[in-house]
Structures are given as C-alpha cells and as structure tokens.
Amino acid sequence: MLLSFLPSGSRARTLCYALILFASFATSSVLVRDGDKQSLRDRNEFDYIIVGGGLTGLVAAHRLSENLFGMAYDRASAADYDSWEALGNRGWGWKGMFPYFRKSADFTPPKKAVVNKYGYTYDESAYGRFGPLQVTFPDWQVPDQYKMADAFTELGVAHLREHAMGNAVGQFWAPATIDAKTMTRSSSLTAYYDKASWRPNLKMLTEHKVTQLAFKGASTTVSGVKAINRKTNKEVTFRASKEVILAAGSLHTPQILQLSGIGPKCVVEAAGIKSRVDLPGVGSNLQDHPVAYLNWKVTNSFPEPNIMTTNETFAAEALAEYQAHRTGPYTKAQSNTIAFLSLPMVTNNTEDMINSLKQQVASKYLPGVYSRELIAGYEAQRAILAKQLGEGSVSALEFPFGGSGMVPNSVQKPLSRGTVHLNPDDPHGEPIVTYNAFTNPFDRAQLASFIAFTRRYFKTNALADMQPQEVSPGEDAQTEDEIIAKLAAGGPLSLSPSFAHPSSSCPMMPKNKGGCVGADLRVHGTRKLSIIDASILPIIPSAHLQATMYAVAEKASDIIKWRSFWP
C-alpha cells in the first residue's frame, strides 16, 4: 500500500507496497504516476494486494499505504452494531465502531444563516473533524418536506436532534458527503485515493479481471492473485508477501473465493473446480434492504422536488447560482430528511408478529444449500433480531421523504436469506445471485404493516393541502397477498429485492455458525487472506451502508496493519 510507520520498538520504518486490482468491472487504463508504468510491469510482488477498487478497497489502500455509493451519510443505532459483537465478533460493537466513524469523517457545520433558514439540527461531537471524507449539509431544501416531517410528528414519531450518537430510531436530518469548501461530492476517490495516488508504493491496475487466488503449493496459504488482461487476454500472477485483501463487494468477493476452491464444496465442484477449503459460509447469508416504491399523487408547493428536471428556466438559474456562489439547488443530491421507524412505531401487531417469527422452523424458509452450521448461525441471528425488533431498539422501516408523493418503504431487517453462487455453466461469468426476497412470511408481514402505516401517514392533517391520492399499490389492494401481488406486477421499479445495499454474503461469524471470516477478518481455514467489504456484515444494519463501510474499512486497516507487526 502506502508508507507505513511502525510503532517504536518494532521493525523501524518500512515501506509497504500495495496493488489495487479491480475485480470484475475495470475499464480504464492503468492509473500510475508519470514515468511509473515500467515499474508496474517490472514489479509483480507487493506487500498487500487489494482486490476491488470500491469504497473499502480505496480506504484500505490509503491507510495500509500510510503505514460509488450515494451521498447519504447516516448511521444505524448502537444495537445494530452490538448485534455483530453478540454473534462472536469482539470489538465490532458500537463502542468499537464509534471511533472509526469519527476517524473517517471531517464534518463542517453549515453556516448559521443556512441552519436558521432550513432548521438543520446536529451534534458536532458525533462526527470527526480531521478525517478524509468531507461531510456537511446542502444549501437548499424544498418546502413540502417540512409538511411531511410534521405528518410524522402527528403520528407520534419524534424528531431526533442527532441520529449518529447511537439512537437512529425516529425522523432526523442526515448530512451528506459534500465538501463544504467546493460544495461538490466527496467520495472514497477524492477523500482517499486522490490523496494517496502520488505515493510510489501504491499502484492501481485496471483493465484486468481477477480470476482466482494463487496459493503456496497445495496448501491453503494464499500467495497472491491471478488476473487476466482484458485487452490482451494474457494471464499474470501478482504475489503478496503479507496478505491478499478482498474488497470486491458482496457479489464478487464470494465468486473469487469459489473460483479459488473456497466455498461450499457442492457449489465449487459443480462448476468443475477442485475444492480446497469446504466453507459453506461463502456466498451464504446474502442480505439487502428490499424495497417497495409507493406512489401518491400530490399537489406540491413551489419549488417542487422534481423542479430541476421539469423546469428548464429554474434549472438554468440554479446552475448559474451554483457556478457563481456554490449555493442553491445544485448543492443537494437527494433528500436529507429520513425516518427510520421501529416495528412498534409502525404497527400495534408487533408482539404477534414476533411470536410467529420465533415459532418458525428456520430451515423451512432458508436456501436448500444451507448446512447445519449455516442454520445454527441463522438461528442465532433470528434470536437477536426478534429481541431487537420486538423492543424497538433497531429500525424496521426506512421511509426517506423529500416532499414528493413517491416514497420508498424499505425493509431494514429482512429475515429472508439469499445466496451468491458460481454459474456452473460459466464460472467466470457473472455469478448467480438469488436474493430470495420475501420468501420468509415475516418479511411479507413487515411490508404489509409498513404500507398500512404509509396510508395512515398520507391521511394526516399535516398533508391535507397536498391532496394526496394513492396510485401504487392502489386502494384496491388491501390484504397482504393483494399488496405483494400488485407491487410485484409493477416489476423492480415497484418492488425490488435490492435498495443497492447488497451485503453479508461472507459473514463475520464463527465457522461453526456458518461464518466466513473471524473478527480478525481472516478467512476461516486459510492463511494470508482477508475480506474487508460489505460481505462481512453478519446482519445488515438499519442504515444506508456508506458511513458504516467507511468505518469498517478504517477499522479493518488498523487490524491488518497491527498484525503485520504481531502476526
């Protein structure tokens, strides 16, 4: 990676070399400093190799070499992260994660005039001040989202002054990943990679696809990676003297492992690959936030939420304002008002729903490939989720609102589980991703209760002058089956298994509970192989994943750096 300075008493200063390889979607040219192309061709051995150039990969590259997500920047509740620790991952609870949330961010409070104009609330102590990622609030909001906030208040949903201190159940303002100086997007590219790309010991190699891991003989010690040049189709092997770090994401990290013979033996051998480590947790436990996109016809005040795409004059004036002053509508990407609601906030039927969940035979609704260990791990997750959902310590529903009549209802704690497996007919093609969304009846019941709540919401006095009329799913759909069928008929723009938050397909849990990595992020049954992306999350948090994954990557980088001194 980049330059690492060791603590006193260890092996004095060491220059660590790192290579970032895009796993499956690299399209641009090699990114190196001027005059360094030859050195990359000559160098085939690095200290660390990071497979994947997304959020966690670029964060780890920056941090290890020291020594694209949306812009929503929100955290889950403390209980969300404590559930990870309860599953056997010491140090991964709220107390262990909070310092890394702060480390990754540089929060700039909005100007007092902006706060007074839009009513922003926040607690500066929840955020860092010297991290790489820039975080602030935009300089524009639409009037109708305040009516929508009042509607939540009318239904008894409290407004939280700050959600990022461990209680994210309620409605709140969420900042965004915006650079307050330029009012442009801050990302893992601008915050981490661009600041580290000059370092001579960090290389990014694109136009290559990682095909499998390389091993030391017949052992399970990983020695590097094999990759194919997309232009020449030539295979090249890169060696890692310390570790290979997978950050290819929840859909491609399992694929790389399975292509390397690490995963469920039946899946690996069905693709014609020799099994090296029979690890059922690889490609299991897939989770996302399945979502129903509901729609009400409303009468909006001016300016309405979609005005930038419907009013050319307004959009042109807004662009001129942004270019001249870095203010106005172009500083805002999406809504900053969100409600994350617990199950008891949404329905009076919580107790019956939880009792029904507890009585389920777990294997009845799980993928057929699930082994005894995977079922045991799922049962441990279910026990935690049943308790948390029942007591309301975590959110069950995400309801982002920005003044329009289109409101997503996203299931935050699904009990259904999916898989990511090699395609036996084309192992190196895209993997077979089976979400299995809503296969567990508890998830169907959750969604039905969310929609019932949303219907009550649009009938509040606060929204009366918006004259809401239900369009989708439509008032004719009343029963759970009718609602699901009506939404499903509308396709993925109406009901989707994914809110673009795929996670948990290589879970951080003990091996005897179906885990893939331990709390040290090392893959069970292997040496010199780690995973640091969203696939390791054992239970998906009730939040957009961006802030969480920056914290995970920062924590992972510290773990990996320290064990290079004390393996």
* Token reading at 183: 């009012």
Neighbouring C-beta atoms of residue 404, cutoff 10 Å: 19
Q: Which residues of 168-207 form beta strands (DSSP E)?
A: 170-173, 178-179, 184-185, 202-205
* Token reading at 50: 């990071």
Is 210 known to sit in a ligand binding site? yes
Residue 107, SS3 per DSSP: strand
Backbone phi, then psi, for 287, in 5-degree steps?
-135, 155
Neighbouring C-beta atoms of residue 92, cutoff 10 Å: 23
* Helix, strand, coil % over all residues of the chain, rounded to 5: 35, 20, 45
Q: Residues near 38 by Cβ (< 8 Å), separated by ≥ 6?
A: none
Let me know: does 48 contact 243? Beta carbons within 8 Å.
yes
Sign of CA dihedral 338, 344, 349, 355: positive
Let me know: does 180 contact 191? Beta carbons within 8 Å.
no
Q: What does the alpha-carbon distance between residue 534 and residue 111 come to, in Å, rounded to a whole number?
A: 34
343's torsion region: left (phi>0), alpha (psi -120 to 50) or beta? Answer: alpha
Q: Is 124 exposed, middle or buried (0-12, 13-18, 19+ CB in 10 A)?
A: exposed
Q: What does the alpha-carbon distance between residue 554 and residue 534 come to, in Å, rounded to a whole number?
A: 13
The angle subtended at Cα 245 by Cα 281 and Cα 235, nearest 5°, is 100
Q: What does the alpha-carbon distance between residue 191 and residue 204 come to, in Å, rounded to a whole number?
A: 16
Tokens 């936030």 map to which residue? 289
Q: What does the alpha-carbon distance between residue 321 and residue 316 come to, in Å, rounded to a whole number?
A: 9
Three-state secondary structure string covering 390-447? HHCCCCCEEEECCCCCEEEEEECCCCCCEEEECCCCCCCCCCEEECCCCCCHHHHHHH
DSSP state of 276: S
Q: Catalytic amino acids?
A: 501, 544
Q: What does the alpha-carbon distance between residue 486 and residue 226 come to, in Å, rounded to a whole number?
A: 47
DSSP 4-41: E-PPTTSS--EE--EEEE--S---S--B--TT-HHHHH
DSSP 137-156: --S---THHHHHHHHHHHTT
CA 412 to chain CA mean position, Å: 12
Q: What does the alpha-carbon distance between residue 247 and residue 228 come to, in Å, rounded to a whole number?
A: 18
Residue 320, SS3 per DSSP: helix
Q: Binding site for FAD: residue ranges?
A: 210
Q: Binding site: residue ranges?
A: 210
